Every structure is written in C-alpha cells, then in structure tokens.
Amino acid sequence: MANSSGGTPPVLLTIAGFDPTTGAGVGADLKTFAAHNCYGVAVITALTIQSTGGVRGVKPVSADVLRAQLDELVGDVSIVGVKIGMLGTRANAQVVAELLEKGNFPHVVLDPVLRATSGKELLEPGGVKVLRERLLPLATVITPNLAEAGILSGLEVKDCKGMREAAQKLCQLGARSVVVTGGGLEKPVDVFYDGAALSEFGSDRVRSPNTHGTGCAFSSALAANLAGGRNLSDAIVLAKAYVAKAIAKGYSLGKGQGLLNHSYRQQNNPLAHSHSLHTPAEGPVHATTSYF
C-alpha cells in the first residue's frame, strides 16, 4: 500500500502484544517508529501481566477481535510497512497470515517472539507451526534470536556457526531473508542471510542492565529504515546502532531489567532532531564480513 502524499510521514503498523512497562511490545515499537520520524499505528494481539521483573501472565486477544482491528485499520490507513511481534495463539497467527497474503505491504519485518526471557510461552505450539509454514515466506526479513532460530530451524544454535546454519535452514524453509540476532553472545554479532550470501554484523558490547525490549527495538528500527528507502544491509547497521545507543542511554526503572531510552536523540539535540530517519555513526557497528 502506497503512503499518502502531502508530507505525511511513513506509516508503520505494529502487530504485537502489550507490555505495561512499554519497554517491549507495541509500546516499544511505537516509540522506535517515532524516533525514526515514522508514524506508528498498532494492533494488539495480547495483554500481558508483566513488569521489569518479567512476564507473569498472558491474555491473548481473540482472533475475531484481532481480525476486526486489522480490517478497520487497514481499510482506513495507507501502511508502508508492518512489524510483527508476539502473536500468542495459532488462530492469531492465521489471521496475520491472511492479512499479509491479501495485502500489498512493501516491507514486512517478522520478529518471531516465542518465549519470554522468564520462560513464559508467548506463542502456543500450533502457532509456531503456522509461523514457520505461512508467515516466514510472507516476510521481507525475519529477526529471530538464538533460541528462536533454534526452535524454528530445528538446529542447535549457540554460536556463530550455528547462527549461520540456522539462517540458511530458515531460508530453505521459505524465509526470504534472515537476521539471527546474537546480542546474548559475549561478543555481539548478528548473522544476515539473503538466500545468496552470508554476512556478519559485529558490534561492541554496551555494558548496561537496561536491555528490556532490545529485540522489539531492533526489528522496529529495521522496519523504519526499510520504509525510509534503505537496503537491508544498511537498515541492519542503522538499527543496530540505534539499539546500542538506546541501551547506553537507558533507564534503570523498576526492580528488574531496565529499559531502553528511545528519546535519546531529542534529548541530545532537540533543535537538530528534524526529518532525517537516522543519525549517522551513532553506534559502534563494525563492517560486514561476507561468506559466499
């Protein structure tokens, strides 16, 4: 769907769960979109009972309500990109697959949220099957972490070698392109595979406890940069830089894991924050290494 004219910023849709801290889920996605001068709209798949200490409970939205939200919104607003996060149920995954199959969205970023850090299941097993068989081929790029890449590929993913193998396997299963995020590694590196070549994007570790919602922020920043006309490789570099800086400037709120600061650009230089989609060289992202 083409974006409307007249100076309206790119409109991005997030389909994800609601985190009351807004550190993750639709709250984090909307803040990330705004930080990239995009206008975010949101459809909620589930309500969660959580704090900075972790997820205590999940109440999925019914598939009928999810479909009604999407139909109403998509029929009204021209959307240039979709970011998909937590889906909760098999039925909700099917609804989103139907939306993408009949829609014409230029950019779709799928963050396959399967399980919370605390271990709480965020997508029932039947939903994982739908995600693997129907949603993977419909996304421009998917952004699993090591655990998610392992579940979806059926492989053991603990290091860069496993990340490369999983990325290739996921493309064999139908994904168009994959970024396996390795923020949990001692030396953070993301592995990108577009079906033809493997690339690694390294960065320096930001020593901070304020990392709640990094996966949401990365995938949302990736969607925003794609909407801004960047190619996938450049969008990955810019998204990584954004997340690194948001971690470094994060907030130690609550009793658990702290939150990213999505407003650091405005706070650093509020008058200069105008209409560019990113600030160049704002994070320690290294050049890529490609394997052909």
Confidence of residue 292 (pLDDT cuts 50, 70, 90): very low
Closest to 87 (Cα-Cα) out of 121, 53, 119: 121
Domain assignment of residue 272, yes or no: no
In a domain, residue 126? The reply is yes
Residue 141: band (very low, low, confident or very high) from pLDDT cuts 50, 70, 90:
very high
CATH number of residue 42's parent domain: 3.40.1190.20
Higher pLDDT, 4 or 45: 45
- 250, part of any domain: yes
pLDDT at 58 over 80: yes
Q: What is the pLDDT of residue 88?
A: 96
Domains held by the chain: number = 1
Give me the residue label for tokens 């925003």.
Answer: 224
Q: Is residue 16 part of a domain?
A: yes
Beta strands across the sheet bearing 141-142? 54-60, 39-51, 11-18, 81-84, 107-110, 141-142, 178-180, 189-193, 198-202, 289-291
pLDDT digits (tens, 9 = 90+) for 148-166: 999 999 999 999 999 999 9
> Is the pLDDT reported for residue 37 higher than 50?
yes
The answer as to whether 51 is a domain residue is yes
The β-bridge relationship of strands 198-202 and 189-193 is antiparallel
Confidence band, pLDDT 50/70/90 cuts, at residue 270: low
Residue 210 lies in a domain: yes
Q: Within a domain: residue 268?
A: no
Q: What is the pLDDT of residues 88-132, one digit of tens each?
A: 999 999 999 999 999 989 999 999 999 987 778 999 999 999 999
256: Cβ contacts below 8 Å, ≥ 6 apart: 51, 52, 53, 54, 212
Question: Does residue 198 belong to any structural domain of this protein?
Answer: yes
Tell me the residue range of the domain where 222 lies.
Answer: 11-262+279-291
The answer on pLDDT for 271 being more than 80 is: no
* pLDDT grade for 203, boundaries at 50, 70 and 90: confident
Query: CB of 254 within 8 A of CB of 123?
Result: no
This prediction has a pTM of: 0.90
| pLDDT at 168 (0 to 100) | 98
- Strand partners of residue 199: 192, 290
